[in-house]
Amino acid sequence: MTLLSERMNGHWSELETQDGERRAARAWERLERLLETAWEHSAELRARMDRAGLTLSDIGSLDDWARIPVLRKKDLVTLQAGGPRLGGLLACEPGELARIYQSPGPILDPEGPGADYWGWTEAFHAAGFRRRDVVQMTFSYHLTPAGLMLEQPLREIGCAVIPAGPGNTDKQIELLTTLPVTGFVGMASYLRVIADKAVARGLDLRRDFRLQAAFVAAERLPEGLRRGLEADFGMLVRQGYGTAELGCVAYECPALGGMHLSSRCHVEICDPQTHRPLPPGETGEVVVTPFVDVYPLVRLATGDLSRLVAGACPCGRTAPRLAGILGRVDDTAKVKGQFVYPAQVAGVLAGFPAVAAWQVVVTNPGGRDRLALRLRLAGELDREALARAFQEAIKLRPELEIAGGAEDIEPGAPPLVDRRIFG
């Protein structure tokens, strides 16, 4: 069996350690080819470029790429309803595909032929999966792509897979403890459920289990949950970021500290309104173009917010890192020209333990933007210090309002409410 320390070494592909110049050259080469195919075969892309007055010859370099208007993820539902070739999104005949899934939306997710179609193999290798691992897959194999999509990299690496699917925790525990299962794929919160149930039944997570590597996805991973699982099982827990239509977008390495961008796609961090790329380090919308010809999703605007982490990673991978998903575009507002992200506000308020609950409310009385920060207090608050810290991070000075009584902040209330009236 592979030792835990050996699972942290090496890379799957030489693409992971390419220098920036080669990486950019390869990206452009792939994007140029993709654009030519999409221009020829995807009616959706052709119509989108027509509307912007663009032709193929207008996009001659990576710098021109951002001139192409984005495709919004939420528009896929309506677009796909337009005929058997998914409203012109598909660049091949449906029968040429390997699989067609449906994920919530509902959005259809075509899978083209090819061994590592969704591009997760480098991510699973970085997470510590190795040849001859026995891996329990707890994502669903039914209709949604998760199970089959995340099984591909395991087959590539040379692992045996138990297609357990979700649920039936007793059966999961039985398989995990009777077979030499060294890998787990699923949601971290579900692995916690399995662990707690096993302990309650008198099992020992190190003696009765052999887990060494887990790849988790599909939910936010709190650091406490990760550390707890790693300590309890004596294993590595790493996460990836991707979507049902895009496949792998980014993934964690042994060093942690962000998620390396996948070599399978081109990722831009863009201003959520103009969709122009932002300077490195700024928070914006994740816009992804996978290098996939059969279903060309050129500049898919995911609605997810992130930023790039600066500096080299000690693991040796050179791909830039995403700082995790910091929120959704739908939960943000542009106030006086500045984007206000709830995750950023949460970061500021974490330094003020007297704040028990908060909510940002944006209005525009008389046509002028006004940003109020509603607070429920559980102690003494230095209001001036809070206003200063807020202004430093978010570049806006909030008006503080104390909530309570009938005006209280309900549990589960949205962190940001935009009540502006335009026009």
Instruction: List residues binding Zn ion (CB under 5 A).
Output: 253, 255, 313, 315, 317
Contact in structure between 31 and 62 (CB atoms under 8 Å): yes
Q: Which amino acid is at 262?
A: S
Contact in structure between 284 and 270 (CB atoms under 8 Å): yes
Nearer residue to Zn ion within complex by CB, 110 or 320: 320
Residue 281 Cβ, how far from Zn ion at the closest point, in Å?
Answer: 18
Nearer residue to Zn ion within complex by CB, 214 or 375: 214
Cα–Cα distances (Å) from 205 to 201, 209, 235, in that order, read 11, 5, 10
Nearer residue to Zn ion within complex by CB, 253 or 394: 253
Residue 253 Cβ, how far from Zn ion at the closest point, in Å?
Answer: 3
Residue 313 Cβ, how far from Zn ion at the closest point, in Å?
Answer: 3
Q: Which long-range contacts (CB under 8 A, 24 or more apart) does 94-102 make?
A: 96/294, 97/294, 99/145, 99/148, 101/143, 101/144, 101/145, 101/148, 101/244, 102/143, 102/144
Nearer residue to Zn ion within complex by CB, 194 or 261: 261
Nearer residue to Zn ion within complex by CB, 127 or 161: 127
Residue 257 Cβ, how far from Zn ion at the closest point, in Å?
Answer: 7
Residue 256 Cβ, how far from Zn ion at the closest point, in Å?
Answer: 8
Nearer residue to Zn ion within complex by CB, 18 or 364: 18
| SS3 call for 309 | strand
Q: Return the closest-CA partner of residue 110 out of 42, 157, 31.
A: 42
**Pairing assessment for the beta strands 134-137 and 160-162 based on DSSP bridges:** parallel
| SS3 call for 377 | strand
Residue 282 Cβ, how far from Zn ion at the closest point, in Å?
Answer: 21
Nearer residue to Zn ion within complex by CB, 125 or 317: 317
Cα(306)–Cα(75) distance, integer angstroms = 21
Residue 238 Cβ, how far from Zn ion at the closest point, in Å?
Answer: 11
Cα(237)–Cα(62) distance, integer angstroms = 35
Nearer residue to Zn ion within complex by CB, 85 or 317: 317
Residue 315 Cβ, how far from Zn ion at the closest point, in Å?
Answer: 3
Nearer residue to Zn ion within complex by CB, 217 or 375: 217
Positive or negative, the Cα torsion across 386, 391, 393, 394?
positive
How would DSSP label each residue in 313-365?
Answer: -TTS--S-EE----EEGGG-EEETTEEE-HHHHHHHHTT-TTEEEEEEEEE-G
- Rounded to an integer, what is the distance from CA 166 to the centroid of its chain? 21
Residue 17 Cβ, how far from Zn ion at the closest point, in Å?
Answer: 10
Cα(137)–Cα(124) distance, integer angstroms = 13
Whats the size of the chain, residue-wise? 423
